[in-house]
Every structure is written in C-alpha cells, then in structure tokens.
C-alpha cells in the first residue's frame, strides 16, 4: 500500500485557502486516490488564520494531518509561514507566496490557484485532473484567468526546482 501524501494549505480568511484545498482534494479524487480533506471554517470569512488539510493515498484514516507529518506545506500569506511550519515533516516541501513574482499575476485573487500550480509538480497527480478539478470548483468566467495562473505557478515551480539543483 502506498504511503499517504499529506498536504497542508494555509493563509488568511478571504485568500481562497479552502477553495485551493477543494481543488487539490478533487484533483486527487479524480486521479483515483482515497481522499480526505479537513478544516475548521467557522471563522474563515472574518480574516483570521485558516488552514486546511488534504490527505490522499490508497487508504486514508484520520482526516487531519498530524503535526510534523505534512509532506507539503503551501502558504498563501507570508505572515502565516512560521505559525504553520510545525506541521511540516523534516525534509518536507514548503511553498510560500514568494515562489512567484507577484507582478506576473493578472489578478491577485488567483494567487491560490497559481500556488497550486507551483505545488502540482511535487505531487503525483496528472495535469488533466488538476485542470478538471479547477474547472469543477470555479465559476466559468474565472476559468481563463485561473488557467493562466495555474500555468504560471507550474512553470515557476519547475524553474525554481531546476535552479536549486
């Protein structure tokens, strides 16, 4: 049985943290994995800290990522990196908003999808499922702008990955 992949997405209310985790969970679901996604969203609209856990693999039990066991931590807001860092396992991948040139985004609101693009190369989910999940979770008028954002993130991540070697 393959190991469960643990992803935590964090940021502030209104940034699209939950939308991003919906898209990730749906993409993993479309790729045929067992998926669980969990968060607390009672206060999310009031600008407070928000985080969402997504786990996928052959069989997922608890819906929450245990502290220190996240394989990937995706953070949409720089101020939220440190408070979420304890969730990351040693050697886990941190993706923060600084992986992108903020000027390159046509619409700031698609930062969540752009960062999903950056994360997409680190996860074993084919691109077709990412795109299908994005279309299913976003209003049609937002598809084009988010396609661009996703592609921007995907190329940024690849560039950074190459540069690191």
* Binding residues vs another protein (CB under 8 A): 12-13, 22, 25-26, 29, 34-43, 45-49, 51, 60-64, 66-67, 79-80, 82-84, 86
Cα–Cα distance measured from residue 102 to residue 110, given in angstroms and rounded to the nearest whole number: 11
Cα–Cα distance measured from residue 22 to residue 142, given in angstroms and rounded to the nearest whole number: 16
What is the closest distance, in whole angstroms, from the C-beta atom of residue 57 to another protein in the complex?
A: 12
What is the closest distance, in whole angstroms, from the C-beta atom of residue 90 to another protein in the complex?
A: 16
What is the closest distance, in whole angstroms, from the C-beta atom of residue 164 to another protein in the complex?
A: 27
Closer residue to another protein (CB): 37 or 154? 37
- Please give the span between the terminal C-alpha atoms of the chain, in angstroms, as a whole number: 31
Contacts of 28 (CB under 8 A, 6+ apart): 5, 35, 54, 56, 123, 125, 129
Three-class SS state of 94: strand
What is the closest distance, in whole angstroms, from the C-beta atom of residue 11 to another protein in the complex?
A: 10
Closer residue to another protein (CB): 34 or 155? 34
Closer residue to another protein (CB): 26 or 114? 26
Identify the DSSP state of 4: P
Closer residue to another protein (CB): 66 or 126? 66
């Amino acid at each position: 049985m393959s190991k469960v992949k643990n992803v935590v997405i964090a940021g502030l209310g209104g940034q699209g943290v939950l939308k991003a985790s919906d898209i990730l969970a749906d993409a993993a679901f479309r790729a045929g994995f067992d998926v669980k996604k969990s968060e607390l969203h009672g206060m999310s609209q009031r600008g407070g800290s928000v985080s969402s856990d997504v786990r996928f693999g052959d069989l997922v039990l608890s819906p929450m990522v245990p502290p220190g066991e996240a394989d990937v931590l995706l953070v949409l807001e720089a101020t939220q990196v440190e408070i979420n860092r304890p969730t990351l396992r040693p050697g886990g991948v941190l993706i923060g908003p600084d992986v992108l040139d903020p000027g390159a985004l046509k619409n700031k609101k698609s930062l969540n999808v752009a960062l999903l693009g950056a994360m997409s190369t680190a996860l074993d989910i084919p691109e077709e499922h990412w795109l299908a999940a994005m279309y299913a979770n976003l209003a049609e008028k937002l598809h084009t702008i988010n396609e661009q954002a996703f592609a921007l993130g995907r190329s940024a991540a690849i560039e950074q990955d190459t540069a690191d070697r």
